[in-house]
Amino acid sequence: QVQLVQSGAEVKKPGSSVKVSCQTSGGTFSTYVISWVRQAPGQGLEWMGGIVPVLGTANYVQKFQGRVTITADTSTSTAYMELSSLSSEDTAVYYCARRGDSYGAEYFLYWGQGTLITVSS
Amino acid sequence: DIQMTQSPSTLSASVGDRVTITCRASQTLSGWLAWYQQKPGKAPKVLIYKASSLESGVPSRFSGSGSGTEFTLTIGSLQPDDFATYYCQQYDSYPYTFGQGTKLEIK
């Protein structure tokens, strides 16, 4: 059974950076896209980007381009999302998510538990 | 980017009702559309993938249909556990995008 376990909640100052981890177990890590999805309080879901760990290349939503970096460590089956230049608008729950195993299953079958990032002075 | 528009934003219904949520895409999709259910404080859970395929373990009262730019999620007979927020998502092309959500409330 695939499980994604994320790092804990953090409070950050405006202008700082945050790095959230997502450790996976079960299933295959290296060849399947790991995505990051965020949800501001009371708002909907927003895909930020994703990475294929074995390739090390990431796709980002243009909105976050230049501020977000998604990386992966295949030796520990852990993906990371780092967001810089934080503002109060970045206060949200950040989820990592993985696609299904079968052909074409690019939807998000497996999810982490979410990490609340609060940006406050 | 493909914009996904859900309607209605809020839906009030009773246990036993049949309800339908609609999702419209700004461009034609090749069927790569998923529906998720989310409860407060929890991660989303996939219900339907490839527009009409029921994810393993999901009750058969959930069904999806549609093609092109218009898709629907139908819940055949509402159960108490179904009151939640529902999202559609296209995974046809990057960037993946979600609808704004439909909150299903108890009438």
Tens digits of per-residue pLDDT, B35-68?
999 999 999 999 999 999 999 999 999 999 999 9
Chain B contact set for A101 (CB, 8 A):
none
Query: Which one of A48, A51, A106, A113 would you mutate to disrupt binding with B, by most B Cβ within 10 Å of its Cβ?
Result: A106
Q: Do A109 and B55 touch (CB under 8 A)?
A: yes
Q: Are B99 and B89 in contact (CB under 8 A)?
A: yes
Q: Which residues are CB-neighbours of B56 under 8 A, at least 6 positions away? A: none
Q: For an interface test with B, which of A22, A43, A64, A108 has the most B Cβ atoms less than 10 Å from its Cβ?
A: A108
Residue A63 is predicted with a pLDDT of: 93
Neighbours of B23 (CB within 10 A): 28
Q: Which of B38, B55, B95 sits opposite A47 (nearest CB)?
A: B95
Q: In this structure, are residues A35 and A105 in contact, taking their beta carbons and an 8 Å threshold?
A: no
pLDDT at residue B98 above 90? yes
Q: Are B25 and B3 in contact (CB under 8 A)?
A: yes
- B26-43 b/e with 16+ CB inside 10 Å = b? eeebebbbbbbbbeeeeb
Q: What is the pLDDT of residue A100?
A: 87
Q: Name the pLDDT band for B34 (thresholds 50, 70, 90).
A: very high
Q: Give the pLDDT confidence score for residue A44 in this predicted structure.
A: 97
pLDDT reported for residue A115: 98
What are B72-84's pLDDT values in tens digits? 999 999 999 999 9
Specify the pLDDT at position A101: 84
Alpha-carbon gap, residue B84 to A107, rounded angstroms:
20
Residues of chain A whose beta carbon is less than 8 angstroms from a beta carbon of chain B are 35, 44-47, 49, 59, 61-62, 95, 97, 100, 104-109, 111-114
Average pLDDT, chain A: 95
Q: Which residues of B49-77 are buried (b: 16+ CB within 10 A; e: fewer)?
A: bbbbeebeebeeebbbebeeeebbbebee
- Tell me what pLDDT residue A28 has: 85
Confirm if B55 and A105 have CB atoms less than 8 A apart.
no
- Out of A61, A62, A112, the one facing B43 most closely (by C-beta) is A112
How do the pLDDT tens digits run along chain A, 121 residues long? 899 999 999 999 999 999 999 999 988 888 899 999 999 999 999 999 999 999 999 999 999 989 999 999 999 999 999 999 999 999 999 999 999 888 888 999 999 999 999 999 9
**In which residue are the tokens 């079960």 written?**
A26
DSSP per position, B2-55: --EEEE-SEEEE-TT--EEEEEEEEEEE-S-EEEEEE-TTS--EEEEETTTEEP
CB pairs under 8 A between A and B: 53
How far lies A85's CA from each of A17, A43, A45, A89, A93, in Å? 6, 21, 21, 11, 17
Strand pairing of A78-83 and A68-73? antiparallel
Average pLDDT, chain B: 97
Position B87 scores a pLDDT of 98
User: Once rounded to an integer, what is the mean pLDDT over residues B96-104?
Assistant: 98
pLDDT of residue A112: 98
* Cβ-based contacts of B38 with chain A (< 8 Å): 45
CA distance A52 to A71: 9
